[in-house]
Structure 1
Amino acid sequence: MSNQSENKGWLQRLKEESWEAELLVSAIAIYGSFKLFDIIGWTANFFINVLNPSQYYIGYFITFFGLLAISILASMFVIHFFLRAYWVGLVGLNSVFPDYSIEDSAYSKIYTEKILSILPKLKDSIQKVDELCSVIFSVAFTFLLMYGYIAIFSSLYLLLFNLLSEYVNNFILLIPAFLIVGSLILQSIITAISNLKKNKEKEKLQILNFKIVRFVSMVSFGPFYKSILQVSMIFGSNFKKKKSLAYLMLLFLVSGIIVTSVQIQKTNIFYLIISTKHKFFNEHKTYADYYKDDNKSNSFLLAPEIESSKIDSNVLEIFIPIFKYEEKIREEFCGAFEKDSKDSKLVQREKEAVYLSECYKKYHALSIDGEKIAVDFIRYHNHPRTHQKGLLGYVNIKNIADGLHEIKVEKKGQEYNFLEWTIPFYKISKN
């Protein structure tokens, strides 16, 4: 009994003194969670570069929900920081002024009594705010485990699918995805039916629901499934006692959506969903992405880049990014490069360089004001700022009249252009 009382006393002291650590961890977590937005931006660019455009919507799903999860996480930590700071203020006030006072009030007795009738007790407020702060960390890290595992698992599955698709039938590779989606649908249906009031005492149905939930949780959350179920069951089993926590969860969701709507503008996530249906870059509009002097903050190029919208020389320099997924399209268009085992590695590299240079010319087409032009391309491996692979080309515009012009860049496939951009520029001759 004495050991139990000592353990309870230690736990109680830990609860009472944990606020200092919570504030410190919360401040660090706010900084760390906002840094995670950079990872989402990098992931979106990675998917744009690697995935075939037909799979962009999967990349969009992964990055968008990852961004939403991090936004909710960041919102939780910010809300926690302010709530805990407010709690510290309430505790400080309570130590000086244990309760409201009518006799010592600076206002009239009638006014003071009326105001106090609509205000909660100070100790009640301290307890409620403390309860809210205490649960935020568990919820925050549960969200992180859930969405983090789902995002990583989905990304690995997608990359494995692409690696094995050349050797294994796509239908076989999709079987795990069908099983997971089917299990989730089945769980939703069985859970909804088993939670009906008339079915809560049906033992076989409840046991079936338990088995399905456990299986789906193991598949969905991997090694973290028990930790996630533990936290969710603590909330679920105490829902009737602490309904106010449900409103807190709603606040997290709303604030997370607001943060997501702000942060998504700083990434290329929209490219993953828009470019699967229609052109991301409208040929009747101009974009800062096209011009080197306007896109200096870009860490990833989605379009070709020229020096400026105003060209005052006789040569126009253009950089055309080459995405990783183009390798398969290039092989379909130009045929695969075949190595000769008799050649040395140096000779093989030289032959491959010639093959690539010729192929780039075949599936890249440039035109100015609708007239096709020849371009001298340099195999340019890395853009100096974004470090993307691409082609550096020079266009002779000496004989083009001063004024507004358009240069069109097309990446040709077997049946249609899989990418194309129209870049306006204004030529001015030097005096």
Structure 2
Amino acid sequence: MTDDTSQLPRHTTPTWEVELLISGVAVFAMLQLPELLDRTILEWQPRLVERWSDLLWVVYIYAKSAALILAGTFVIHLLLRARWIALVGMLSIYPKGVDWDSLRLGPLARDVESKRLGRMEDAIDRADNRATMVFALGVVMASILMAVTLVAGTYIVLAWFLESRMGLAPDTRWVGWVLIVATVPYLAAYAIDRRFGARMTPGAIGTRIVRGVLWFYSRIGFGMANNPALALLSSHRGQKWTVFLLSAVFTVASFTAAMTYYIAQQPDAYGSYDSFPDSDDLPSRSIDPANYDDRRDPVRSRVAPYVQSAVIIGPFAQLVIPWTPDRDGPAMDARCGMLPANEQLGCYAEHVRPVTLDGKPIAAVFDIGDDARTNRPALVAMIDVRELARGRHILGVTLPPQVPAPRKDDDGEEDPPADYIPFWR
């Protein structure tokens, strides 16, 4: 004899075991993937000029949005499946369902609640179907974003090849317009088919053109046939509801990805610190961890000149100036590029990155080195501090003159664009 209460409901989704397996295994990977993407972009952006870092940022946003959607989907799916399993288990304990008469409810509330819940078997089926739909919808949305990420990544590789191998520098601003124009034929054929398709003559040239356009775009990934799960959901839940849901989830995921990126670069941007002094107003009084090698985070700290520590023990302060392609490259080419190689470092120290100590210019001698903790190129100068008095001192490292633009204070005077590094002897 088989007790029906020990069996799964008859209409249970046949993929529930595989869903649980995938969600249980993948949720841990998906929760770690956003952090990996953050580290990747924060490590790579300082190596690139602005147009390349902007493209990398676009790929990062799409990839991180897909990772966030998958992570959220798998977590929600596990919770929904756990709820479904709990309901199945509870029904096996109480096979007669809810005993509404034993609850302290009035007759009207009892009638409303019992009709809303219905049979426990139906409630279990609804919980089962809801979990499967969440699983499928999350995979569909992440797949769409990953396809977009792949297209953007392919463009970056192609553009890099054209620039590095063929000497061409494609303007990244026209990429969006090209993508928009490329979708116009599909949208036009789609609109014509919906409005006039039933009245078009089979075999006519117009019919063949519309069919050919739709066939071509279907082959390259457009249309419902390339996403059966989305087609099933749209056909049974409605296209407007599905489009709204997809747009809402994409917007939330993209906004979250962008905000976490911003917070990673500006950790002091959130919190109730309105009355705290602004370091931009008092740059020479700012103790920025990015300026000290023993305190900075190689990945998350801003790219800035640094010394070994806020307290200099030895006879020399080792000043390391990481090379930034957007700032140092153009400045070096414009001011020192025509000089012989053996004179460029001296020109750079004198005209591009002059160094001051306690407000007085010093003749810093730069050597070619690197940032040992990030493996990025840097210039190194050993500053003699043996004769300095005990106490507080300030190193000033001038930024290239064109970036950033000088900032005006309240009196209308311009502050020199420089990094200030306070240190103590």
Q: TM-score, normalised by structure 2?
A: 0.70
Query: Aligned partners of 1:421, 1:389: CA distance in 2, in Å?
Result: 20
Query: Aligned partners of 1:268, 1:94: CA distance in 2, in Å?
Result: 51
Q: Match for 1:364 among 350, 353, 374?
A: 353
Matches for 1:313-324 after TM superposition, within 5 Å: 315-323=316-324
Partner of 1:181: 180
Partner of 2:152: 154
Q: Cα gap change, 1:253/1:379 in structure 2, threshold over 3 Å: closer, same or farther?
A: same
Contact 2:27 2:75 in 1 (8 A): yes
Contact 2:367 2:380 in 1 (8 A): yes
Larger relative contact order (CA 8 Å, sep ≥ 6): 1
Contact 1:80 1:133 in 2 (8 A): yes
Q: Match for 1:23 among 5, 20, 30?
A: 20
Query: Aligned partners of 1:331, 1:185: CA distance in 2, in Å?
Result: 43
2:393 paired with 1:408: no
Partner of 2:377: 389
Query: Could you give the per-residue CA deviations for residues 13-70 of structure 1, whole angstroms, max 9, x where no partner exists?
Result: 9964543332232122111112221342244235413431244333332222322222
Q: Match for 1:49 among 42, 46, 50?
A: 46
Amino acid at match of 2:179: I
Structure 1 residue 75 displacement after superposition: 0.9
Query: Aligned partners of 1:159, 1:355: CA distance in 2, in Å?
Result: 36
Query: Aligned partners of 2:229, 2:124: CA distance in 1, in Å?
Result: 24
Structure 1 residue 134 displacement after superposition: 1.5
Contact 1:311 1:425 in 2 (8 A): no
Partner of 1:5: none
Q: Cα gap change, 1:283/1:320 in structure 2, threshold over 3 Å: closer, same or farther?
A: farther
Q: CA RMSD in A?
A: 4.5
Aligned residue pairs, count: 383
Query: Could you give the per-residue CA deviations for residues 146-187 of structure 1, whole angstroms, max 9, x where no partner exists?
Result: 322322332342243244236455469988764323123565
Structure 1 residue 79 displacement after superposition: 0.8
Contact 2:11 2:125 in 1 (8 A): no
Mean Cα deviation higher: 356-365 or 24-33? 356-365
Contact 1:180 1:216 in 2 (8 A): no
Partner of 1:102: 100
Q: Cα gap change, 1:252/1:199 in structure 2, threshold over 3 Å: closer, same or farther?
A: same
Q: Cα gap change, 1:206/1:313 in structure 2, threshold over 3 Å: closer, same or farther?
A: farther
Query: Could you give the per-residue CA deviations for residues 365-424 of structure 1, whole angstroms, max 9, x where no partner exists?
Result: 3223543322243433341x3333323332234555666554333453xx7246965234
Partner of 1:77: 74
Query: Could you give the per-residue CA deviations for residues 314-350 of structure 1, whole angstroms, max 9, x where no partner exists?
Result: 5323322224667964555544899xxxxxxxxxxxx
Matches for 1:196-211 after TM superposition, within 5 Å: 201=198, 203=200
Please state whether the residue corresponding to 2:121 is helix, strand or coil. Answer: helix
Unaligned 5+ segments in structure 1 are 1-11, 271-280, 339-351
Unaligned 5+ segments in structure 2 are 1-8, 268-278, 406-416
Q: Cα gap change, 1:172/1:421 in structure 2, threshold over 3 Å: closer, same or farther?
A: closer
Please state whether the residue corresponding to 1:320 is helix, strand or coil. Answer: strand
Q: Cα gap change, 1:176/1:254 in structure 2, threshold over 3 Å: closer, same or farther?
A: closer
Query: Aligned partners of 1:374, 1:227: CA distance in 2, in Å?
Result: 69
Q: Cα gap change, 1:418/1:95 in structure 2, threshold over 3 Å: closer, same or farther?
A: same
Query: Aligned partners of 2:87, 2:322: CA distance in 1, in Å?
Result: 57
Q: Match for 2:139 among 127, 138, 141?
A: 141
Structure 1 residue 358 displacement after superposition: 5.2
Q: TM-score, normalised by structure 1?
A: 0.69
Q: Cα gap change, 1:164/1:262 in structure 2, threshold over 3 Å: closer, same or farther?
A: closer
Structure 1 residue 90 displacement after superposition: 1.1
Amino acid at match of 1:147: L
Amino acid at match of 1:373: I
Query: Aligned partners of 1:264, 1:396: CA distance in 2, in Å?
Result: 39
Contact 2:336 2:344 in 1 (8 A): no
Contact 1:315 1:397 in 2 (8 A): yes
Percentage identity across aligned positions? 17
Contact 1:64 1:269 in 2 (8 A): no
Q: Cα gap change, 1:56/1:387 in structure 2, threshold over 3 Å: closer, same or farther?
A: closer
Query: Aligned partners of 2:122, 2:68: CA distance in 1, in Å?
Result: 31
Amino acid at match of 1:416: Q
Query: Aligned partners of 1:409, 1:210: CA distance in 2, in Å?
Result: 65
Query: Could you give the per-residue CA deviations for residues 242-297 of structure 1, whole angstroms, max 9, x where no partner exists?
Result: 96x77875775576367536643564599xxxxxxxxxx94745433223343247
